[in-house]
Amino acid sequence: MKRKDKSRKRDASATKDAARPRVAKAAPRDAARRPAARGEQDKTPTNKKRKARRTGRAREPAASRVEARRTHDPHPATPTPTPEAEATINERSAVEEVGLGDTDIASEEAFELGIGSRMVPPTTQYGEAFDSSPPAPQERRPGDVEAQIRALEARLDGLIRQRDFSDAAGDAEAEAEAEAEIAAPSSERRVGALAKSSSAPPARIDAAQPPAEDFISRKWGRSALRSRSDDFDDFGLDPGFERSVQPAVEFLYKTYFRTSVEGIDNVPAEGRCIVVANHSGALPLDGPMLRAALRIEHAQKRDLRWLAEDFVYYLPFAGVFMNRVGAVRACPENAERLLEKESVVAVFPEGVHGIKKLFRERYHLQRFGRGGYIRLCLRMRAPIVPCAIIGAEESSPLLYRLEGLTELLGLPYFPITPTFPLFGPVGLMPAPTKWRMRFGEPIHLDSYGPEAADDHVLVGRLSERVRSAIQAMLDSGLRERRSVWFG
């Protein structure tokens, strides 16, 4: 019963609206967004727009329709507006009075497409709304590009000439030539450019710089390279430089320290070998003395290379000097390369702790590191020859060491000896004590395989065995010595 009453009221209101005269009113935005009733959708003029969009036919603009009428009707007369046309005109005027434009109407009606009101103009079809491909670029004629290139080239040529020739006549000629080049083809322009370059004034040549000073050329120039040897090995040994310092080394070995050697025959005549010795002295000279002992006293004149501490190579000139006279930077890789060449290598397992010993701790061996030299012998199958050096502790006795200046000076310690720093650099000169070198029986590790290098217990036991052999030779040598100066 309620539904029938509502339908009767709706019909009555529809008849009243049909009887009233149509008055164009500006509908608000909310009313425009509200969808019309089913009966009113067929009667409103916007229904044709929607129908045109559904069918894909766009409405022709008003200007084209008026132009079509003028062309087809030779005798135009004042058209009589129909009721539907009057309603359309009144709606347009009402919209203009309110302030809404065509874009606002389109935004109000485009929401029915479901893709946003601001993205689709009112005359866009449904399929065109999703076509986002950019418009095709306009084709440029090749003549325009060539003309622009010629103009740029002519401008650059003019700027170059203006920089070189600043007089007014030259500028006028450059402008005239630039205009001629723009009109001339590219081949003629190239020929003209070549002709101009040939007629251009020669470039200025600066005066030669004065030659370098004689001292610089003699010190660091080609004349200095003549005193350098071309025969270097992989570790920096310079035979020519070593021959030049060899008289000083032999003087220290034979005359100054009066070195005596025992058991030199325990060093193999050929093949690889590792000599393990004690390290001592504030200024350690045991490496060069060992090298001189094998070269002078050994029957085969074996060439010994010793491993020097790492800190030496951070001192100015010291690392280079040590390499040139036969030292090698201490690391397992360098030792392996030397042993592969069947060389004799001298190692000092005490390291820096050996030369840091005070005078009251002389001839007491420090800990032999972690047994790196034992692992090296096991892997390379090289025998060990222990060596004890007596007399080096007294030649440079260390009374006290300052460790607060280590970072400043780059040294492991700052030595205080009876003569240094009291007498300056001269105080580093070692005292002329009597040196004795004793080589023990070689220790062969052939019974152990290379895999034994990973056994830490075995490595520690073998290292202690070598240390005990060297300590025993030191103790026996000290008992046999009668004097520090005369042996």
pLDDT tens-digit series, residues 293-306:
999 999 999 999 99
Q: Does domain 239-480 correspond to CATH entry 3.40.50?
A: no
Handedness of CA 51, 54, 55, 60 (dihedral sign): positive
Give the C-alpha separation, 457 to 381, whole Å: 19
| pLDDT tens figures, 1-35 | 444 444 454 555 544 454 454 444 444 444 444 44
- pLDDT value at 354 more than 70: yes
> If you average pLDDT over each of 127-136, 165-174, 222-231, 343-352, which comes out highest?
343-352
Check residue 279 and give its pLDDT: 93
The ranges assigned to domains in the chain are 22-127, 156-183, 239-480
Check residue 182 and give its pLDDT: 58
Arithmetic mean of pLDDT over the chain: 73
Give the C-alpha separation, 234 to 240, whole Å: 15
pLDDT band at 285 (very low <50, low <70, confident <90, very high): very high
| pLDDT tens figures, 362-381 | 999 998 988 999 999 999 99
Check residue 226 and give its pLDDT: 53
- pLDDT value at 118 more than 50: no
Looking at residues 94-112, what average pLDDT do you find? 45
pLDDT band at 41 (very low <50, low <70, confident <90, very high): very low
Sheet containing 304-308: order of strands: 260-262, 436-439, 384-390, 273-277, 344-347, 304-308, 327-329
Of 69-83, 246-260, 419-433, which gets the smallest average pLDDT? 69-83
Handedness of CA 73, 78, 82, 88 (dihedral sign): positive
Looking at residues 47-61, what average pLDDT do you find? 53
pLDDT band at 395 (very low <50, low <70, confident <90, very high): very high
